[in-house]
Amino acid sequence: MINHTLKDDILSISITNKDFSYRISLKKLGNRIDWKIGGKDSENIIIKSVSTWALQLFTKTITDAQYVKQFKDIVQEYCPNNAIHWEDTFMAVKIQNEYNALSKTNQNQNEIIAMLTEKYNLDY
């Protein structure tokens, strides 16, 4: 479970028994980004208007979808008028994590992107 506290417009979040602790300004909590999945010299998948923080927080060591859902609830609590596309955010986290795992197998980057594009029926 994600624990969170708010003090001086800074949201502190952590996960019990995990190496996961971050402080985020409320002004930036609802930020969104067009997230690029892929290498610098390969094809890319771009998913628009996703949560900047969800992608940064949940595509490294903590990748469990339950935490992304809890994070969404926290963002909605403190930034109810955000313009984040949450379904696309959940999908972007899932695709990015799968891309990260496949990249470790030394597969061709363009093949990975093509496979993920087909698997998730993306038209980007």
**pLDDT > 70 in the chain, percent:** 99
pLDDT attached to residue 124: 55
**Domain span holding position 49:** 30-119
Residue 73: inside a domain: yes
Residue 47: inside a domain: yes
pLDDT attached to residue 41: 81
Residue 13: inside a domain: no
CB atoms inside a 10 Å sphere around CB 108: 11
Q: What is the pLDDT of residues 74-90, one digit of tens each?
A: 999 999 999 999 999 99
Written as tens digits, the pLDDT of the chain (124 aa) is 999 999 999 999 999 999 999 999 999 999 999 999 998 888 899 999 999 999 999 998 888 999 999 999 999 999 999 999 999 999 999 999 999 999 999 889 999 999 999 999 997 5
In the chain, the number of structural domains is 1
Distance CA 114, CA 95 (A): 12
Distance CA 76, CA 1 (A): 16
- Half-sphere CA count of 110, side-chain side, radius 13 A: 3
DSSP 40: T
Residue 83: inside a domain: yes
CB neighbour list of residue 104: distance below 8 Å, 6 or more residues apart: none
